[in-house]
Amino acid sequence: MHWADVVAEKLAEKAREHVLATAITPSGPIHVGNLREVMTTEAIYRALKDRGMKAKLIYIGDTFDPLRKVYPFLPESYKEHVGKPLAEIPCPCSEHENYAMHFLEPFLASLKEIGVEPEVHLAHEMYGKGIYNEAIRVALDNAEKIRDIMNDVANRNLPATWMPFNVKCDACGRLDGEIREYEYPYASYKCKTCGHEGSIDLRKGGVGKLPWRVDWPARWKIFGVTFEAFGKDHAAAGSSWDTGKIIAKEIYGYDPPMPLVYEFIHLKGKGAMHGSTGVAVAAEEVLKMLPPEVLRFLFMKYEPNRHIEFDTGFGLLDLVDEYDKYERVYFGIEEAEAGMKDVRRVYELSQPHTTPKRAANLPSYRHLAVVAQIGRSFEEVVAILQRKQKLDEYDIERLRQRYEKILYWLDKYAPEAIKFKLHYEKPDIELSEGEKKFLKELLRNFHAIEWDAEKIHSTIHETAKQINFPAKKAFECIYKIFLAKKQGPRAGYFLQSLGKDFVVKRIKEFVE
Ligand SMILES: [Zn+2]
Ligand SMILES: [Zn+2]
């Protein structure tokens, strides 16, 4: 059984209705690692619905969290905003409502593209509307108990004056006000940053924020959350999950949701993805080079506790080719290979919307990367591919999407080894006598063969052998006359894609 169905089955045993929550602090670009949380939860949401259960998927944008520091991607001028709620800081590009939306908007658009449409709640609005007010009162009334839980479970050393609420300072706008005196509904505070002293009426919304470790269990109760996935940083001993589940039970009288801990995503060669360190690829960036179903596939294929290494280089091509293999197995065109698990379910859960009616007849992503550099337009690319395989309207539609994405990949991420620039006119290079002899012989042999990648490849080898010309030099000579350099893509596929007429004409230009 697929992992999402396993979790759904466990949830179904507990209750008939479920609220699945997912949340991200939009303090920087929301990356593929963050996406794992949403995708994992959404798969379980789908699995519940497929069992006929009632389920709701909510997404909470932590827009009321303070800016922690000036991240590497921010100008120094953001120093004055450290400590202020993200929704009250200006957006870096000046085109969004605020700092939080600058990062949230593109992420929500990406979610839509991969078929995830949760009910979205923004924390600064929830606080502003007073939705947290009751939870804040309960927390403050139980400040001592919460402090003890934090000190015992999280090994903190909080002073007796500590209160579980950060007041938004009236003078500087930072969430740095510490409560001095509290008697519901009033509290007085002193700002630890600017020293301002003031007082608040807790019946008003947005006057401050619960610290994360209390905010989390409070929202479980507010939304009736029954399931939540989180990264392993929240799950270590003494973590926010450890304190959260006790605070939920003892302070809020609420049973904590069923947890699921997921592994981080690593960026190949760079380590775990973190928005704050810059080791990350934003979700919207990945969707510019990968079809949405393939991005979903990455998360559906591996169990959430499996480590994923995301590779924007050649690994990206392999990922698409692997997806295509699953598609062909799903439709019974090919047999499953060893290691392929839950093919049906993985394929279905990888679809952003409905499951296709049939497999597309597409070239491999790797081959497309080569053809996309030969054809000068989408139409030329289609024409090149159609010399070898029949493409109908459906294939061409799917190909069009992939073509756009592979161009982006070639431009921004592709390793140099796969990149080339085809000379449509004879390049200005000199060949040796040996090379000319080889090309003459090759021309004669090419006339006789069917224009097929493997036949082309073996003919190059055989021709070189016939005249005792080193194979390495033979291939270099071929790349030289088309690319004006000594390396290029696999010669068989490359020449096949160029077309026999073009290849013959170019060789003649050099030998006649
Ligand atoms: Zn912006
Ligand atoms: Zn202040």
Please say if the pLDDT value at position 445 is more than 90: yes
Q: Mean of the pLDDT values across residues 166-179?
A: 98
Closest ligand to residue 91's CA: 1
Q: What percent of the chain stands above pLDDT 90?
A: 89
User: Which of these ranges, 108-122, 264-278, 371-385, has the smallest mean pLDDT?
Assistant: 264-278
Residues, CB within 5 angstroms of ligand 2 (ion): 169, 171-172, 191, 193-194, 196
Please say if the pLDDT value at position 125 is more than 70: yes
pLDDT at position 276 is: 63
Asked if 282 and 34 count as a contact pair (C-beta separation under 8 A), the reply is no
Q: Please tell me the chain's helix, strand, coil percentages from 3-state DSSP, rounded to the nearest 5.
A: 50, 15, 40
Strands 119-122 and 54-61, bridge-based pairing: parallel
Residues 96-117 pLDDT 10s = 999 999 999 999 999 999 999 9
Closest ligand to residue 106's CA: 1
Confidence of residue 232 (pLDDT cuts 50, 70, 90): confident
Confidence of residue 283 (pLDDT cuts 50, 70, 90): confident
Q: Mean of the pLDDT values across residues 56-81?
A: 96
CA of 271 to the centre of ligand 1 (A): 27
Question: Rounded CA gap, 239 and 232, in Å?
Answer: 9
Q: Please, what is the Cα angle at 398 between 397 and 404, to 5 degrees?
A: 95
DSSP state of 31: B
Please say if the pLDDT value at position 349 is more than 80: yes
Residues 82-101 pLDDT 10s = 999 999 999 999 999 999 99
Closest ligand to residue 92's CA: 1
Q: List the structure tokens of 319.
A: 């990922």
The residue to which tokens 């928005």 are assigned: 275
CA of 323 to the centre of ligand 1 (A): 34
Own/partner pairs, 431-438, CB within 8 angstroms, 24+ separation: 431/477, 431/480, 431/481, 431/510, 434/469, 434/473, 435/473, 435/477, 435/480, 436/510, 436/511, 437/467, 437/469, 438/463, 438/464, 438/467, 438/469, 438/473, 438/474, 438/477
Please say if the pLDDT value at position 389 is more than 90: no
Mean pLDDT of the chain, nearest integer: 95
CA of 92 to the centre of ligand 1 (A): 5
CA of 218 to the centre of ligand 2 (A): 26
Rounded to two decimals, what is the model's pTM?
0.91
pLDDT at position 233 is: 82
pLDDT at position 93 is: 94
CA of 369 to the centre of ligand 2 (A): 55
Closest ligand to residue 172's CA: 2
Q: Mean of the pLDDT values across residues 279-308?
A: 92
Residues 233-248 pLDDT 10s = 888 889 999 999 999 9
Confidence of residue 419 (pLDDT cuts 50, 70, 90): very high
pLDDT at position 33 is: 83
Closest ligand to residue 99's CA: 1
Q: Mean of the pLDDT values across residues 410-421?
A: 93
CA of 141 to the centre of ligand 2 (A): 24
